[in-house]
Amino acid sequence: MTTPIRGHDSDDSRAHKIHWKHWHKVAALLMGFDVISICVAWFSALFLRFDMHWSHIPALYLDLYRVSILPYAALCVLVFWKLKLYNSIWRFVSFTELLYMLLATGITFVIQLAETALILRVIMPLSYYVWGIFFQFALTFGIRFSYRFLQMERSRLQKNKAAPRHRIMLVGAGSAGQMILREINHWPETMKKDAENEGKTNNQEEPDAFPGYVACIIDDDSNKWGRFVDGVPVVGGREAIAEAVEKYRITKIYVAIPSASMTNRKEVINLCMETGCEVKQLPGMSQLIAGSVTVSALRDISMEDLLGREPIHVDLEEVFRYLQGKTILVTGGGGSIGSELCRQIAGHKPKRLIIFDVYENNAYSVQMELRDKYPNLDLVVLIGSVRDSQKLFQLFEQYRPEVVYHAAAHKHVPLMEDSPCEAIKNNTIGTYKTAYAAMAYGCQRFVLISTDKAVNPTNVMGASKRLCEMIIQCFDAKVKNGTAHELPELSHPKEAGDQDPDWAKNSEKRKRAIRQSKTEFVAVRFGNVLGSNGSVIPLFQKQIQNGGPVTVTHPDIIRYFMTIPEAVSLVLLAGVYAEGGEIFVLDLGSPVKIDTLARNLIRLSGYQPDVDIKIEYTGLRAGEKLYEEMLIKEEGLRKTRNDLIFIGEPIAFDEAGLLDQLQTLMDEAYRNADGETIRALLKKAVPTYHPKGTDSAPLSGENAEKP
């Protein structure tokens, strides 16, 4: 028989002992104080009833008090315990605890009446009951509230002793603002609680983590002005921000207005950033709904916050149901928009995803990312150019993509002004060749990524993209009326003669296939994309890192902006909404001044514009205009199921003339003709194209019409 080890028995017995936590001790002390408070309260009521003369109190009432008070006090403690009044954290006593105390007081008052009248059959004087229950409530709740008051005073002394570096302005006196204020007011206790949860010592990290204290509050509700929230004054609305920053020597501003519209929030954030203070904000309503409004939930202001409109939210379930199980091709898949398209598509079970890009570094980077994240994805990455008809035909014949997102394009306006032939070869002819291959090999939908610069273009890049839109509309119209086989392949002589001896035979085969084509062609038009390779933001950030200056072409230049996820959502949605021939347009709200964008970016980086970082105006670049538009005046708007996405009605044009002009443009581009020749041909092909510097350029310079 095994002899039990006594040491183990003693360890087990110790393990089963009750371990008193700190709050258990506090609860026991509160119970004792409640008993004493109740005894004192009801004796004081009796004493007060008889003019505070001991000899005037009848013996019957004294005997009744002695007999009833301890059982009554025990019942009160039981009621308090049942209502969990001993479980509350009284340093954070609030309106909820007050309600529970009132409920407990009402219940115990009924118990007092029942005990004296029904059990002891003695009716005490009415004032005894009134004063007794009042004193009981005052003493029992008072000790709890005084605990919070002492903790607040202790916090204040600790904060003063710590000499905080920051004086905070809180924007928003609503629920979110009050939660932030309460956390800051109880910061030492909050830090101590977090430290205990993480196993840290009480003094660990607390001094550095302390954010400061709230010196004033801003709120647009005039009913709150001149009043106080937890001792902090509400000094005015948003127009008082600058004055209050100076008066209260503010160094940090916390914006806690999650329910405000993006437009209002942008205005408030701009006013805050102009003060030079560090600005943080709550991202949105989700924190308030989840009850997670804390100082740690505050984040730095981002460029997206300064767009001044609500984010575009698209129900992508419909999109991904459509894409699931399909072979999808993304041209330019290594670029900013193309790579995000690939990420979104890869996560929703396509049959196969094909990335086609001429730049191998970008394509390789996206390939590694997707293979690591989606190991079961059938991913094909091909290097090639959309200028190469042979490569495109081989790709489409081998993989038969059902949906094509055509994102491959040259996008830099000044570079394309200097190299107009490349814009025609890559953007216009590249789109034509890709669309033709899609049509010849049974593609279901072809989605062109276009740009707002295609509207009334003043530069070669915009004109080349407008030609792309016209090509898409032409293709779609010919598919619908059954004449798509009449479209020429537009392959330049080197492709047709040198690379494929059977070119003519294969070409005829493709034309026969095109007779049966049902491909739907659509275009998606949007503005500048924040964070994309062609965006002005990376340039500004690099200039700021180098100490400036930040170069802005013109103080009045404005642009529409959107985020990469918004752009990709619109592109994906176009593939579902498409009926053929549409140009999808996103309502981007108000345009943003590039000068304001540059100044805000400097402030976001912790510098003062024109003080720490200079801003220089360099003048409009070749082909650049002050204002971009999303819609040509002649295009009508048609709503979609999404209130912020519209369809521009196609503008009629001479399709036969367009095809002839495209052939001439291609021939001249591959001949590397001079820029003036290309621009002259573009003006004939695109009626809305007015090169900057000509007499007919309506949207550049001081006479520009604002959208």
Per-residue model confidence (pLDDT) at position 16: 47
User: What's the half-sphere exposure (Cβ side, CA atoms, 13 Å) at 443?
Assistant: 34
Beta-strand relationship, 327-331 and 232-236 = unpaired
Rounded to an integer, the average pLDDT of 20-25 is 63
Q: How confident is the model at residue 8 (pLDDT cuts 50, 70, 90)?
A: very low
Structure tokens at 567: 């752009």
Choose between 279 and 165: higher pLDDT.
279
Q: Is the per-residue pLDDT at 176 higher than 70?
A: yes
Could you tell me the pLDDT band of residue 7, with boundaries at 50, 70 and 90? Answer: very low
User: Rounded distance, CA 589 to CA 308, Å?
Assistant: 7
What pLDDT is recorded for position 188? 54
For residues 308 and 262, what is the distance between their CA atoms, to the nearest angstrom? Answer: 5
Average pLDDT, rounded, for the chain: 79
Q: Tens digit of pLDDT for each residue in 37-96?
A: 889 888 888 888 887 777 777 888 888 888 888 888 888 888 888 887 776 655 555 667
Sequence-distant contacts of 486-490: CB under 8 A, at least 24 apart = 487/436, 487/439, 487/514, 487/659, 488/659, 488/663, 489/389, 489/433, 489/436, 490/429, 490/432, 490/433, 490/436, 490/662, 490/663, 490/666
Cα distance between residue 268 and residue 241, in whole Å: 9
Q: In the prediction, which pLDDT does 666 show?
A: 93
* Per-residue confidence (pLDDT) for residue 93, from 0 to 100: 57
Give the per-residue pLDDT at 398. 96
Mean pLDDT value of segment 240-268: 86
SS3 352: strand
Kindly report the length of the chain. Answer: 707
Q: Is the pLDDT of residue 459 over 70?
A: yes
495-548 pLDDT, tens per residue? 544 456 677 788 888 999 999 999 999 998 877 777 665 667 778 888 888 888
Task: Give every CB contact of residue 379 below 8 A, 6+ residues apart in sequence.
Answer: 346, 352, 353, 355, 367, 370, 371
| 435, pLDDT greater than 80 | yes
Q: By percentage, how much of the chain surpasses pLDDT 70?
A: 77
What's the pLDDT at 405? Answer: 95
Within 8 A by CB and 6+ apart from 699, the residues are: 456, 458, 625, 626, 627, 629, 690, 705
| 8, 241, 276, 570 from 169: Cα distances, Å | 59, 9, 13, 38
Q: Identify the pLDDT of residue 338.
A: 92
pLDDT digit string, tens, across residues 468-505? 999 999 999 999 999 999 999 887 655 544 456 677 78
Environment class of residue 592 by beta-carbon count within 10 Å: exposed (0-12), middle (13-18) or buried (19+)? buried
Distance (Å, whole) CA 71 – CA 69 = 6
The fold adopted by the segment(s) 164-301 is Rossmann fold (3.40.50)
Predicted confidence at residue 206, as pLDDT, reads 41
| Sequence-ordered list of residues with C-beta below 8 angstroms from that of 680, at least 6 positions apart, any chain | none
Confidence (pLDDT) at 330: 97
Q: How would you label 212-233 residue by residue, b for 16+ Cβ within 10 Å and e otherwise?
A: bbbbbbbbbeeebbeeebeebb
DSSP class of 671:
T
Domain boundaries, the chain: 23-152, 164-301, 317-685
How far, in Å, CA of 244 to CA of 623, rounded?
45
Q: What topology does CATH give the domain 317-685?
A: Rossmann fold (3.40.50)
Return the top range by mean pLDDT from 3-7, 230-234, 437-441. Answer: 437-441
In this predicted structure, what is the pLDDT of residue 167? 87
More confident residue, 405 or 203: 405
User: What pLDDT, in 10s, does the model give residues 326-339?
Assistant: 999 999 999 888 99
pLDDT value of position 236: 92
Q: Are 244 and 170 in contact (CB under 8 A)?
A: no
pLDDT of 358: 94
Q: What percent of the chain has pLDDT over 90?
A: 30
- Nearest of 192, 310, 303 to residue 559 by alpha carbon: 303
Which tokens sit at 396?
């489409």
pLDDT of res. 667 = 92
Question: What is the per-residue pLDDT across 599-619, written as a single tens digit (0 to 9) for each?
Answer: 888 877 778 888 888 999 988
Which two three-digit tokens encode residue 222? 């005039």
SS3 category, 240: helix
Reported confidence tier of residue 677, pLDDT bands at 50, 70, 90: very high
The per-residue pLDDT for range 340-382, each reduced to its tens digit, is 999 989 988 899 999 999 999 999 999 999 999 999 999 999 9
Rounded to 10°, the helix 95-113/59-82 angle is 140
Please check the confidence at residue 147 and state whether its pLDDT lies above 60. yes
| Average pLDDT over every residue of 192-213 | 49
Judged against a pLDDT cut of 60, whether residue 703 lies above it is answered with no
Question: 9 or 101: whose pLDDT is higher?
Answer: 101
315: Cβ contacts below 8 Å, ≥ 6 apart: none
CB distance 217 to 169 below 8 Å: yes
Question: Of 387, 470, 391, nearest to 424 (Cα)?
Answer: 387
| pLDDT of the residue at 654 | 82
pLDDT at 229 exceeding the cut of 50? yes
Q: Which two structure tokens, joined as six digits, stand for 389?
A: 């008809």
Residue keyed to tokens 């205005």: 267
CA distance 529 to 564: 6
Calpha distance 278→603 (Å, rounded): 9
Rounded to whole angstroms, the Cα distance separating 287 from 177 reads 12
- Would 164-301 and 317-685 be classified into the same CATH topology? yes
Per-residue pLDDT band at 396 (split at 50, 70, 90): very high
CA 498 vs. chain centroid, Å, equals 53
